[in-house]
Amino acid sequence: MPFASAARAAGREFISNPVAPMFSPEIVATAVLNGLLTGAVYALVALGLTLVYGVLHIINFAHGALLTAAMFAVLVLKLWLGLDPYVAMVPLVPLFFIIGYALQRFVIGPASHGNDANILLVTLGLSILIENLLLAIFRSDTRTIDVPYAFMSIDLDFALLALPRVIAFGVSVVVAAALWALLALTDTGKAIRAVAKEKLGAALVGIDVAHVYAVTFGLGTACLAVAACLLMPTFYVSPRAGGAFVFVAFTIVVLGGMGSIPGALIGGLFIGVVESLSGLYFGESLGQIGIFAIFIAILLFRPTGLFGARA
């Protein structure tokens, strides 16, 4: 196994005082880069959530479970067909769009009768159902996949960036841009924006609101499929794995402004960096409080987020 023993020996000299609370600029810079890379994937998970929230005005409790389902789909394709996770996007993104569309159109929509409290319960029921269906099928083992490029990295001299995480960063930004373009430039996008703004008005001018809702939900779910494909080369999956991303995604949605695509992207990157730095300075456990502190502060002082319009 290649490993840089020379670099390691050289690095030892930089450490003048091992117990000092201050970190060297290299470490802080690396932490910021790590935060950006992680944040991009958070942003992708948040994109789906913010889109669904912005249009349907519902808090989708099933978001985490759907992410888990997508991660298992990546695992299955890899183990049974040998499909690379990045290639798996080709079948999985359309598949999860259809799943999302169908869920909203035939389950969440009809079952909830348009009542907020009921939507909440239906998505909660869905998340329980999906999570435990995965448990029944795959059992509770923590599973991982091995890809040849898992340990490749880009050497920036002061930092090693894992190649899969750099790829994830790039793809997340591209997906956010594509989604933004879809909303801004296409007819479907216009219909979605119309429904988001004024549901009754949109219906009056002949827009099929139920269809638009389902398309939006489908797009949100498709984002999760992309996120799952990007995560699996470096992360693990178990029936509860997706849950780890949900609260942080909510924070990003609130920070970026509910319904805002650029907000979700920038919010995601920002939260990634905050998490990384507060983890470095306060420890990983208490560092989580940094996220919640931002979350609470934003809600209290600027509930529309950085990019959102007044609800």
Partner 1 sequence: MFDPMKPDRRTILKTGAAAFATGVVAAPLVLRAQPAAIKVGVLQPVTGALAHDGQQGRIGAELAIRDINAGGGIKSLGGAKLEMVFGDAKSTPEGGTQEVERMQGEGVVAVVGGYASAICLATTQAAARYDLPYVVDVGVSDQIVRRGLKNTFRIAPGFGTCATQALDNLVRINDAAGKPARTVVLIHEDGLFGSGLAKLLQTELPKRGFEVLETIAHPTPTRDMSNVALQIRAKRPDLVIPSSYYGEYVLLARTMQQQRIRPKAIYAVLNGAASNFRFVKEFPEAANLMMDCNHWHDPRNPKAIALRKEVEARGAFWTYNIPLNYSAMLFLADALERAKSTDRAAVIEALAASTFDGHIMPYGPTKFVDGTNTGAAPVNLQVQGNDIKVIYPDMFADGKPVFPMPA
Partner 2 sequence: MSRVAAYLPIAAVVALAAVVPLVVTSNTVINFLVFTLIVAVAAQGWNLLGGYGGQYSFGHAAFFGTGAYVTALLQTQAGWNPWATVLLGILAGAAVGAVIGFLSFRSGLRGSYFALITLAFAEVFRILANAAGITGGAAGVLIRLDVRPENFQFASRGTFFWVGLAVVAIGLVLTRAIERSRFGAHLVAVRENEDAARALGVDPLRVKLLAITLSAGLTAASGGLYAQYFLFLDAGIAYGAWISVEALVAPIIGGIGTVFGPLVGAVVLQGLGHLTGHLAGEIPGISLVVFGALLILAVAFAPDGATGMAGRLWRRWRRPATPTTTPTATGGERC
Chain contacts with partner 2 (rule: CB under 8 A): 53, 57, 59, 107, 110-113, 115-118, 120-122, 124-136, 139-140, 239, 247, 250-251, 254, 258, 285-286, 288-289, 292-293, 295-296, 299-301, 303, 311
- Smallest distance from partner 1 to CB 104, Å: 27
Q: Is 162 helix (H, G, I), strand (E, B) or coil?
A: strand
162 binds, options partner 1, partner 2, none, Cβ within 5 to 8 A by partner type: partner 1
**CB contact at 8 A, 227 and 243:** no
Considering the complex, state which of residue 189 and residue 243 has its C-beta at the smaller distance from partner 1: 243
- Residue whose C-alpha is closest to residue 228's, from 250, 248, 245: 245
In DSSP terms, 162 is beta-bridged to: 153
Considering the complex, state which of residue 245 and residue 295 has its C-beta at the smaller distance from partner 1: 245
248 binds, options partner 1, partner 2, none, Cβ within 5 to 8 A by partner type: partner 1
Which regions of the chain does DSSP assign to beta strands (E)? Answer: 153-155, 160-162
Considering the complex, state which of residue 257 and residue 268 has its C-beta at the smaller distance from partner 1: 268
198 binds, options partner 2, partner 1, none, Cβ within 5 to 8 A by partner type: none
Please report, as ranges, the residues that interact with partner 1 according to CB under 8 A. 1-5, 8, 11-12, 15, 18-19, 23-24, 27, 30-31, 34, 37-38, 78-80, 82, 132, 135, 139-142, 144-146, 150-151, 153, 160, 162, 234-236, 238-241, 243-245, 248, 275-276, 279-280, 283-285, 288
63 binds, options partner 2, partner 1, none, Cβ within 5 to 8 A by partner type: none
Considering the complex, state which of residue 139 and residue 197 has its C-beta at the smaller distance from partner 2: 139
240 binds, options partner 1, partner 2, none, Cβ within 5 to 8 A by partner type: partner 1
For residues 169, 175, 179, 182, the Cα torsion angle rounded to the nearest 10 degrees is 140
Considering the complex, state which of residue 34 and residue 127 has its C-beta at the smaller distance from partner 1: 34
Q: Is 67 helix (H, G, I), strand (E, B) or coil?
A: helix
| Distances in whole angstroms, Cα of residue 106 to Cα of each of 98, 100, 109, 165 | 12, 10, 6, 36
The amino acid sitting at 273 is V
17 binds, options partner 2, partner 1, none, Cβ within 5 to 8 A by partner type: none
Considering the complex, state which of residue 101 and residue 270 has its C-beta at the smaller distance from partner 1: 270
Q: Exposure pattern of 156-168 as b/e (b: 16+ CB <10 Å)? A: eeebebbbbbbbb
Query: What values do phi and psi take at 193, rounded to 5?
Result: -65, -35
- Smallest distance from partner 2 to CB 247, Å: 7
- Smallest distance from partner 1 to CB 90, Å: 19
- Smallest distance from partner 1 to CB 63, Å: 15
Q: What is the DSSP letter of 158?
A: S
**Cα separation of 191 and 178, whole Å?**
17
- Smallest distance from partner 2 to CB 57, Å: 8
3-state SS string for 8-54 = HHHHHCCCCCCCCCCCCHHHHHHHHHHHHHHHHHHHHHHHHHHHHHH
